[in-house]
A and B are shown apart, each in its own frame.
Chain A
Amino acid sequence: MKRWLIAFLMLLLGRGQKPRQLPPPDPVLDAEPPRSPGSELLVVVLLLGAAAAAIVFVVVYALSANTQLLGLSMGGALVLLAAVFYVIAKRLVPQAESDEPYPQLIHQPEQEEVARTFEESASRLTRKRLLVVAAGTAGTALAVAVVTPLASLGPILDTDRLYRSPWSRGRRLVDAAGKPLKAGEVIERSLFSAFPEGADPKDLAAPIVLVRVEGDDLDLPEGRENWAPGGIVAYSKICTHAACAVSLYRAPLNEPTAPKPALICPCHFSTFDPAKGAEVLFGPAGRPLPQLPLEVDGDGYLVAGGDFSGPVGPAWWGVRKR
């Protein structure tokens, strides 16, 4: 009890006394005189501005969530913070540059030791080459085995699927809404899109373009004389260059100075001549658009006269040229 009292007394007496002053340690950084308080006040103002902008962001979010105001307030808050740190960097922290040596680049003894550790670890082996060959065999076989399940990702050997097409003789042409297309609806100087009736319009081989070639311009390749009833020609809409839809039709209105009519793909501007079996006039496409033979049925509707003249869309190694 007495010891407790003394301890308590000492504590009371000791209170309020300054701890003994240690001599100040050497500064780590070179001392620089303080700047005028203006910069510090600027930082305070900027910080309060950032706080205000952040609050505005929350308020805007709660009220209208207007995208412009949200961006302005949050972006503004961050830009103000950037300004804060800029002022701190340029005005408030010590500006002394320092230097240090670039690290040592070569550790010759350690390099030597590392190499020798491995070499000497293998010093008891007598059939090194055989082991390396065996290990290489195991490693290669295992690597092949590990990547084999990736083949499940796609039918890598079934490339015949690339040739499939929903078009066949007698299949009617319908527009995007599914309405059958009459030959009379295909007017000159305009481009029409069509799909096989009942097929998936997202199939790459489904969409075709139709144009009516004017007068006696029609000059289709041999064997396609009956493919264009009334001058209406149909081609796959998928560009043979890079699979975009050929959706531009350059139909001159001010002949004869204008270039001749052409089907154009807007991706890389491959340009095809609809009068000549869609042969390539310009641009990167390497082969014509496949043509779809057309017929008109008894009711005046357009129907396919068969499948395309060649594989649809972009080419691959080993595909038939036409």
Chain B
Amino acid sequence: MIRGIVRYLDERSGSAPLIRKALRYVFPDHWSFLLGEIALYCFVVLVATGIYLTLFFEPSLHQTVYTGSYEPLRGRTVSEAYASALDLSFKVKAGLLVRQTHHWAADVFVVAIVLHLVRVFFTGAYRKPRDLIYYLGVGMLMLAVLEGFLGYSLLDDLLSGMGIAIAYAVALSLPVIGASFAMLVWGGPFPTHAFETRAYIAHVLVLPVLIGILLTGHLALLAMRHHTQFRSERGTEARVVGYPAVPGYAPRSLSLAFATAGVLLLLGGLVQINPVWAYGPYEPGLSTNGAHPDWYLGWLIGALRLVPGFDVHVLGYTIVPNPFWGGALFPLLVFGFLFAWPSLERRFSHDYAFHNLLDRPRDAPWRTAIGAAFFTWVGLIFLVGSADRIFVELGIPYTWQIWIYRVLVFVAPVVALFAVKRVCDELRVNELHPFRGMTGAVVVRSPAGGFTEQRRRPDRE
């Protein structure tokens, strides 16, 4: 039967040589290479569950009286979007499962992308000839964050409504064009009905298609250039070693795909997420304490909270409003750094060569140190977003925390830079594994009877 199918395809497309090559395509094996695959499978789950959700969701802010099965809100005037989200959760069989799975998948999607990025950064996988693949990946991260934000903002619940209000303030704060830009995007002063339909078409069509296009490029270029690998006996700059797609790698990847989808469905079924009925519908005059966005916006809310209170004024007129610093400039710097890094590194290291072998983080101490400083900086600002929870849980006054963070964001990256550089240098000299390395020293007795400490582990080259 297999023979028949192959013959059928080959006679009509001439693709047997291509299929043969695809089956033998080699995948190097390392646990950290699976992060990107998890992101890919999350995207598949997102598309599948997302299509199902569009069949029930009503993207409209026209007001209606809620008559559904959720007792506390019955009789309340809410938007059609909010009402349909409630019906989707309580009336539609399996609707809540799919909705929660979709939401969980979005959160895990961005986690996987960020971890994948960290892996690629610290092993130097982004170097030529794969820098283009890296740029496409960072682009997808930007789109994924925006896509997630628009997605949960569609429901018109109080929590997400506050998020849109903040986005509007950030849009208004852009220098020179702010007011016009916000009017353009919202179609008038916030809040508007127009924004809902715009966010909807962006969320269900424009952004997913863009992500799909970048993803196609990302994977096609990867297939053309092949996967990177760590150095091994057979794995060199010239040859890639690993499991062939068939029979070795395909079942491994399928296992990961089903595991990803399975865990997302278990989360969607068993762990509540974004219970919009508990938040109530959005009104501009309402807000709630302890409100946090989805995790991947934590760094932005942290930045908005961290900036000291000042607008830039000239002659009694505001020039640059405060949300610009945390909401626009900060993400610009973060993504600017990520996009600029490969060429910056080439410029300063004068390393213009092709690289198929990965560095261990210690092999490039300055890259690892700069990366550690960068991720420490962004990570700290992410933590600022949870300062109010820390106050509730641990009782450390909020204002103290903010002042501590205002100092730490300048000090900690510098400390991280030099500490990590030092650790890398030490590890390189001693050739130890940072976590399971030998802690003792190897002492060798020479034929003459003297003792010397061996700096390198005997089992390494």
Which positions in A face B, CB cutoff 8 Å?
29, 61, 65, 67-72, 74-86, 88-89, 93-103, 105, 150-151, 153-159, 161-162, 164, 176, 193, 195, 201-204, 206-207, 237-238, 241-248, 265-270, 280, 282-287, 313-322
Contacts and interface: CB of A to CB of B under 8 A. Distances in A.
Contact of B168 (A156, A161, A243, A265): A243
B275 to A, nearest CB: 12
A193 B244 CA distance: 67
Contact of A76 (B266, B311, B322): B266
B262 A269 contact: no
A238 B184 contact: no
Given A101-B239, A153-B184, A266-B289, A85 B308 contact: no
A284 B270 contact: no
B129 A105 contact: yes
A71 B97 contact: yes
B247 interface: yes
Given A61-B93, A153-B185, A316-B178, A284 B326 contact: yes
B418 interface: no
A286 B317 CA distance: 12
A74 B265 CA distance: 7
B323 interface: yes
Given A154-B183, A247-B286, A284-B304, A71 B265 contact: yes
Given A65-B93, A85-B252, A268-B305, A316 B287 contact: no
Interface in B161-176: 162, 165-166, 168-170, 172-176
Nearest to B285: A207
A314 B269 contact: no
B285 A75 contact: no
A204 B169 CA distance: 12
Contact of A72 (B172, B174, B266): B266
B265 A162 contact: no
A248 B285 CA distance: 12
A145 B323 CA distance: 32
A79 B226 contact: no
A241 B307 CA distance: 11
B225 interface: yes
A161 B189 contact: yes
B280 interface: no
A314 B235 contact: no
B258 A267 contact: no
B262 A285 contact: no
Contacts of B129: 105
Interface string B318-343: 11111100110000000000000000
B146 to A, nearest CB: 18
Contacts, number: 306
B255 interface: yes
Nearest to A246: B287
A315 B269 contact: no
Interface string B215-258: 00000000011100000001101111111100110011011111
14 contacts: A69-B269, A85-B251, A86-B252, A97-B242, A102-B225, A102-B238, A150-B184, A161-B188, A204-B190, A243-B168, A245-B286, A286-B318, A287-B318, A316-B173
B304 A320 contact: no
B346 to A, nearest CB: 16
Contacts of A164: 189
A82 B316 contact: no
Given A156-B180, A164-B189, A201-B285, A286 B321 contact: yes
A75 B248 CA distance: 25
A99 B240 contact: yes
B447 to A, nearest CB: 41
B166 A242 contact: yes
B255 A98 contact: no
B166 A237 contact: no
B283 interface: yes
B392 to A, nearest CB: 12
Given A82-B259, A244-B162, A266-B290, A98 B24 contact: yes
B288 interface: yes
Contact of B234 (A75, A99, A176, A269): A99
A312 B1 CA distance: 72
A242 B262 contact: no
A241 B265 contact: no
Nearest to A207: B285
Contacts of A157: 180
A243 B25 CA distance: 54
B356 interface: yes
B323 A241 contact: yes
Nearest to A265: B287
B54 to A, nearest CB: 20
A320 B247 CA distance: 69
Given A101-B238, A268-B304, A313-B169, 14 more contacts: A72-B266, A75-B264, A85-B258, A98-B241, A101-B240, A102-B240, A154-B186, A161-B189, A193-B285, A244-B287, A245-B162, A245-B286, A317-B173, A321-B311
B280 to A, nearest CB: 12
Contacts of B191: 202, 204
B292 to A, nearest CB: 10
A125 B255 CA distance: 59
Contacts of B257: 82
Nearest to B399: A282
A269 B398 contact: yes
B265 A284 contact: no
A242 B184 contact: no
Please indicate which of the listed interface residues B173, B187, B242, B326 has the most CB atoms of chain A within 10 Å of its own CB.
B173
A67 B97 contact: yes
A96 B284 contact: no
Contacts of B254: 85
Nearest to B391: A269
B272 to A, nearest CB: 9
